[in-house]
């Protein structure tokens, strides 16, 4: 049987001197694959397009994160019509101070692109080989297949194909993906819809979530420090329509209620006892989280359990 090739660690290739590990500093690693995730209507597509403009134009993403590697960007926006994509890119380019007419972003215009079909994968591979993009943006994942997103065995081959594009053509890959509804209290990667393969796959992951009226961005990297809850706002000053970082000294920090606090609030407003299922639906929490939180609340005497359900302990 043939053995696998090996090399001693000291003889591995050394990083090139002055090599910059960032595609966009602090935001996306060079040649990284990853997820831009969040619940619906959280600005995922705006963030993906902002990343594309930054790389194509060499401008700071979100007017905060410097682009360290520039070049062509290949974009597939499955859910938006061409005029909408153009309008958004023009607005972001204006916000970034970039010339839209020379923006090196190439938009795939086929109506359907399916990563679970071999002929579509081969067409995408050929397009990447021809254009040599620094960044490939695919938005969103749900429109790129007809598989069961919860089945790791079905998700893994699609992600493996995208990883092969990254390795073979040295292109970063940003995949826009939805989080589960009502999962805003969970960590970004854990809140993603479907198999945990999606979270594990990413080298750089960006997660958007809303807390009340505020929008927050969390950054997660495999080989760099992560950042949590950077506040963003969608700035609409025609022709500009783009996300921007909100300066810390202009906002009050938002605190997300714990599972116990949310359940206590719901029980305090209820006129009758509530069952565990009613509480789970009202709080939009996982059954395991509700069960654990209720056990703690009962143990500490803040909540009383009876045959009818749970009630806040008024005493």
Summarised one tens digit per residue, pLDDT across range 177-224 is 999 776 555 666 778 999 999 999 999 999 999 887 889 999 999 989
Sheet holding 227-237, edge to edge: 105-107, 73-77, 135-139, 172-178, 33-38, 204-211, 214-221, 227-237, 240-245
Q: How far apart are CA 55 and CA 50, in angstroms?
A: 9
Query: pLDDT tens for residues 55-108?
Result: 999 999 999 999 999 999 999 999 999 999 999 999 999 999 999 999 999 999
Closest CA to 206 of 230, 233, 180: 230
For the chain, where do the domains classified as CATH 3.40.50.300 start and end? 20-247
For the chain, where do the domains classified as CATH 1.10.10.10 start and end? 259-312
As a CATH number, domain 259-312 is 1.10.10.10
In this prediction the pTM is 0.76
Q: How far is CA 272 from CA 101, 161, 289, in A?
A: 63, 53, 22
Closest CA to 176 of 40, 7, 296, 308: 40
Query: Are 50 and 240 in contact, with CB atoms under 8 Å apart?
Result: no
Query: Are 246 and 232 in contact, with CB atoms under 8 Å apart?
Result: yes
Query: Are 308 and 272 in contact, with CB atoms under 8 Å apart?
Result: yes
The CATH number of domain 20-247 is 1.10.260.40: no
């Amino acid at each position: 049987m043939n053995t696998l090739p090996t090399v001693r660690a000291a003889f591995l290739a050394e990083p090139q001197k002055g090599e910059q590990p960032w595609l966009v500093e602090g935001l996306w690693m060079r040649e990284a694959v990853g997820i831009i995730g969040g619940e619906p209507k959280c600005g995922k597509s705006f963030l993906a397009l902002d990343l594309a403009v930054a790389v194509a134009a060499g401008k700071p993403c979100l007017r905060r994160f410097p682009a360290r590697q520039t070049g062509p960007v290949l974009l597939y926006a499955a859910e938006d019509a061409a005029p909408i994509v153009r309008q958004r890119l023009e607005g972001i380019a204006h916000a970034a101070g970039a010339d839209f007419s020379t923006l090196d972003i190439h938009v795939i215009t086929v109506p359907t692109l399916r990563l679970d079909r071999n002929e579509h994968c081969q067409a995408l591979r050929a397009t990447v080989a021809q254009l040599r993009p620094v960044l490939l943006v695919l938005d969103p994942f749900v429109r790129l297949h007809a598989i069961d997103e919860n089945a790791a065995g079905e998700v893994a081959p699609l992600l493996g194909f995208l990883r092969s594009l990254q390795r073979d053509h040295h292109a970063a890959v940003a995949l826009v993906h939805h989080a589960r509804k009502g999962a805003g209290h969970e960590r970004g990667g854990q809140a993603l819809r479907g198999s945990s393969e999606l979270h594990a796959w990413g080298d750089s992951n960006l997660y958007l979530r809303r807390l009340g009226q505020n929008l927050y961005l969390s950054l997660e990297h495999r080989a760099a420090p992560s950042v949590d809850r950077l506040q963003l706002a969608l700035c609409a000053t025609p022709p500009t329509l783009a996300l921007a970082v909100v300066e810390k000294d202009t906002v009050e920090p938002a605190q997300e209620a714990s599972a116990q606090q949310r359940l206590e609030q719901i029980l305090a407003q209820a006129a009758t006892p509530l069952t565990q299922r009613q509480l789970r639906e009202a709080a939009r929490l996982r059954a395991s989280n509700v069960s654990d939180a209720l056990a703690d609340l009962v143990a500490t005497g803040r909540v009383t359990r009876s045959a009818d359900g749970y009630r806040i302990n008024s005493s």
